[in-house]
């Protein structure tokens, strides 16, 4: 596969993300414009809950989905506010919820409480997509990554995601390899979202090669695999050989 073809493949799997602390409504509109104006549309935009309605208006009938984050970034919010935040985001038009696992609770042996949060959010995401962010870079070893992956899937996750991108250590090939192994044994369709620190075409290729090798060459689709990134978008456009079009593709 040529670099341009590989970049097109990765671009269609991208959750184009703006979760900066100083994110603005105009920034959300710009994100949506970029999402639909590249050589192929990205899979989704991922932004703060307060911008979901803005994104819904901007994207209109586009195929680009709207993802937002809850219990983000620390994973320490009590369950009731997380439920309210989720319900408000879904009402505003979110298609996908990226929930931060209460990972500190899991590391402290409080898996029951963490599972209860996932189940409560999963119940409210019927017909939508629930991605559970494990924050794998903060775990002491891969055994804990396995424990968190199995917990998230058992509690109702549709995807498991490596990282928030807000910690010093984010996505890694060893964590992704282990997570894919858990997914393969899950007994139902589960997706993987490597996120955080993925900035180059070479980074994207390493994760795609891993998924192809472990899951088969036809497994990776936007329904089973996403990249969570912001800077990767420009790298992919450069590899394809052009910049974003002035004319968005689809509704904007």
Domains of the chain and any CATH numbers: 3-240 (3.20.20.70)
Q: Which of 18, 95, 161, 203 is catalytic?
A: 161
pLDDT above 70: percentage of residues in the chain: 96
Banded model confidence at residue 1, pLDDT cuts 50, 70, 90 = confident
Tokens (6 digits) for 19: 């979760």
Q: Which residue has the higher pLDDT, 142 or 245?
A: 142
Coil/strand/helix, residue 8: helix
Mean pLDDT value across residues 232-243: 88
> What DSSP character marks residue 51?
G
Contact 138, 106 (CB under 8 A): no
Is the pLDDT confidence value at 37 over 80? yes
Is the pLDDT confidence value at 188 over 90? yes
Per-residue pLDDT of 132-172, as tens digits, reads 999 999 999 999 999 999 999 999 999 999 999 999 999 99
Per-residue pLDDT of 192-231, as tens digits, reads 999 999 999 999 999 999 999 999 999 999 999 999 998 9
Is the pLDDT confidence value at 245 over 90? no
* φ, ψ at 133 (rounded to 5°): -90, 120
Q: Which of 18, 98, 158, 203 is catalytic?
A: 98
Q: Which of 18, 158, 193, 203 is catalytic?
A: 193
What is the predicted pLDDT for the residue at 242?
Answer: 55
* φ, ψ at 30 (rounded to 5°): -65, -40
CA angle 106, 108, 109 (to 5 degrees): 65
Coil/strand/helix, residue 15: strand
What is the predicted pLDDT for the residue at 182?
Answer: 98
pLDDT above 90: percentage of residues in the chain: 94
What is the predicted pLDDT for the residue at 252?
Answer: 31
Q: Which helix (H) or strand (E) holds 39?
A: none
Q: Which helix (H) or strand (E) holds 228?
A: strand 227-229
Contact 52, 94 (CB under 8 A): yes
Active site residue 98: yes
Average per-residue pLDDT in the chain? 95
Mean pLDDT value across residues 48-58: 98
């Amino acid at each position: 596969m040529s670099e341009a073809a590989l970049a097109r493949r990765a671009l269609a799997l991208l959750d184009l993300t703006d979760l900066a602390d100083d994110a603005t409504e105009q920034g959300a509109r710009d994100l949506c414009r970029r999402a639909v104006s590249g050589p192929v549309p990205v899979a989704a935009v991922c932004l703060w809950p307060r911008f979901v309605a803005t994104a819904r208006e901007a994207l209109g009938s586009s195929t680009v989905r709207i993802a937002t984050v809850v219990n983000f970034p620390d994973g320490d919010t009590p369950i009731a506010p997380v439920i309210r935040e989720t319900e408000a985001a879904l009402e505003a038009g979110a298609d996908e919820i990226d929930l931060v696992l209460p990972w500190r609770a899991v590391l402290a042996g409080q898996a029951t409480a963490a599972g209860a949060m996932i189940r409560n959010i999963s119940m409210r995401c019927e017909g939508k997509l629930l991605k559970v962010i494990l924050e794998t870079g903060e775990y002491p070893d891969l055994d804990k990554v396995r424990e968190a992956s199995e917990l998230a899937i058992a509690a109702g996750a549709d995807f498991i995601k490596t990282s928030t991108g807000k910690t010093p250590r984010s996505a890694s090939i060893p964590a992704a390899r282990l997570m894919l192994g858990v997914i393969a044994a899950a007994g139902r369709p589960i997706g993987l979202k490597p996120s955080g620190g993925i900035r180059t075409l070479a980074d994207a290729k390493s994760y795609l090669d891993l998924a192809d090798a472990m899951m088969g060459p036809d497994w990776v689709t936007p329904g089973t695999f996403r990249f969570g990134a912001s800077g990767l978008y420009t790298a992919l456009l450069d590899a394809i050989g052009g910049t974003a079009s002035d004319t968005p593709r689809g509704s904007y």
